[in-house]
Amino acid sequence: MSTIKELELLLTKGRITRREFIGRVTALGLMAAVSPTLLSSTAKAATPKKGGHFKIGITGGSTTDSLDPGTLTSNMNQNVNWQVRNCLVEIDHNFNAIPELAESWDSTPDAKVWTFKLRKGIEYHNGKTMTAEDVVYSINHHLGEKSKSAAKGYLKNLLNIKADGKHEVIFELSGGSADFPFIMGDYHLTISPAGTEGKEWEKGIGTGGYILEHWEPGVRALTKNNPNYWKDGRAHFDEVETLSIVDTNARTNALKTGAIHYMDRVELKTVHLMKRMPGINVTATTGTAHYTIPMRLDQSPYGDNNVRMALKLVVDREQLVKQIIRGYGEAGNDHPIAPVNKYHAKDLEQRKYDPDKAKFYMKKAGMLDHTFNLHAADAAFAGAVDASVLIKEQAKKAGIKINVVREPDDGYWSNVWMKKEWSMCYWGGRPIEDMMFSVAYSAGAPWNDTLWNNERFNKLLISARAELDTDKRRKLYVEMQEICRNDSGTVVPMFNQMVEASSDKLAHGPISGHMALDGMRNGERWWFKS
């Protein structure tokens, strides 16, 4: 049970709302112990102020980045995308699907046909009014044989999408999808005017709270407040400047000197020092984020599950959690479903470091003499190179030889990830199991970065998606996690908290664990105190 001090800390850090705080302390019979000053100050802080030039220092940006929603790969272009565009659905800080451009939705009892009613009078930055045809066009952008969109995996069972008048869109599915509204909240599925293609994507025309003024991929983006933004109480800044600062030390120094107001991926080796710095707040948010080490199964010897199992067993997860993320997270179990997810397999046996068993599997594969190249750059995640070196040392106890190949940060996501045979990777995770499995583990998904294809897993994915009984659905997802753990080409060593830092001049509501940077929406959700 939370103490009064713990609740006060959650309130001041914006992890719970003022209403939630009052409710909890009242339930504990501690309301009399609460300082009136605390409540008045938090009430004042919770009142958004308009204005100011908000500067974000962000990692992961690359000169190969695009604002085509189907190809968003970095924190930078994902964040900018949600500054300028909206989805039909928004995922809130409690991992709920709430209306955004759609004002409501409903489905047939079998969840095969979904009808979304659109808000009326929503304008794009170019003055055009949004219609159902725009929604149809935007979703169809991710479909078709030539589409390379990462969202394609979510939409495999979409048979047809059509407009019913100007303000209603009907989705017809091949099978039931109980969580379909969550899919419509994915960052790839933002809505743009019909006909947007090619270089037009880079103009960032959308319905979002900010209008794109400048876009230099992997370097800088500048957006200005949309005076006609349709959301009340959102998009408070006059301008938002997003800077790609891949180097952690450079990002930290920029925050210290006031050159930026917000940074992602705090250097965990020195986070204790940053916490003591005046004028800086550090937040650690638990969500679905996790680190992975995918192997391409089409490249020898990773097609052999004995090799995959050996490389999973040779990773000392507890040591990685302690040394790489400094306790800001927990050990992974070689599947991508986070402890915060509804159907997380909490009873699945935790994989442990076992060099003897790893050696057994590698010997069985006849690969003890093989040297494995592990490609890494800190663009993958802060500490990725250090983690690779640590795994190399852990593997020596099993007689397994690993060569760490240090790659350039720039272009990592286009030139290394999904290209090299074994590499470091980072996933923000997804709010529901179906989305995470569909985008990265289902056969043929564009972002299935191991090219894994397990027949049983694929059948269960379709069954679980359509299953409306909660208990039955849980059993299906638990089995999928077990299959993934024991057969897939992905090592999942850690689930990490998102540790970020900001100027104390900023204020905000509860922080979302759905992706970094407050669910990638800090530009619209945060404000300056004065």
Query: 367-390, pLDDT tens digit by residue?
Result: 999 999 999 999 899 899 999 999
pLDDT band at 244 (very low <50, low <70, confident <90, very high): very high
Q: Which residue has the higher pLDDT, 267 or 43?
A: 267
- Does residue 81 belong to any structural domain of this protein? no
Element (H or E) spanning 517, and its range? helix 516-520
Tally of domains within the chain:
4
Domain assignment present for residue 78? The answer is no
Q: How many residues does the chain have?
A: 530
pLDDT at 1: 39
Please indicate, yes or no, whether residues 227 and 305 belong to a single structural domain of this protein: no
Residue 70 lies in a domain: no
* 326 & 432 share domain: yes
Do 367 and 423 lie in one domain? The reply is yes
Residue 501 exposure: Cα atoms within 13 Å on the Cβ side: 27
Cα 181 to Cα 91, 97, 99, 427, 437: the distances in Å are: 10, 7, 9, 21, 16
d(CA 245, CA 343): 36
Asked if residue 73 is part of any domain, the answer here is no
Is residue 308 in a domain? yes
Range 154-171 average pLDDT: 96
Does residue 98 sit in the same domain as residue 115? Answer: yes
Same structural domain for residues 188 and 235? no
Domain co-membership, 380 together with 515: no
Q: Name every residue whose Cβ is closer than 8 Å to that of residue 381 and which is 6 or more positions away in sequence.
A: 265, 291, 424, 426, 496
Domain end point (choices 200, 229, 246)? 200
Tokens of 336: 């991508």
Region 19-45: mean pLDDT is 57
Domain limits at 10? 4-45
Contact between 45 and 529 (Cβ < 8 Å): yes
**What one-character-per-residue DSSP string does 91-146 give?**
E-TTS-EEESSEEEEEE-TTS-EEEEEEPSS-B-TTSPBP-HHHHHHHHHTT-STT
Q: d(Cα 92, Cα 81) in Å, to the nearest integer?
A: 17
pLDDT (tens digit, 9 = 90+) per residue, 66-77? Answer: 999 999 988 999
Task: Name the token pair of 56.
Answer: 């974000």
Domain with residue 160: its CATH number is 3.90.76.10
Within a domain: 66? no
Residues 194 and 226 in one domain: no
Alpha carbons 239 and 216: distance in angstroms, whole number: 16
CATH classification at residue 214: 3.40.190.10
Contact 372, 402 (CB under 8 A): yes
pLDDT at 7: 64
Has residue 146 been placed in a domain? yes
**Are residues 112 and 140 located together in one domain of the fold?**
yes
142-154 pLDDT tens trace: 998 888 898 998 8
Domain membership of residue 395 (yes or no) is yes
Tell whether 318 and 441 lie within a shared domain: yes
Q: Do 150 and 176 have their domain in common?
A: yes
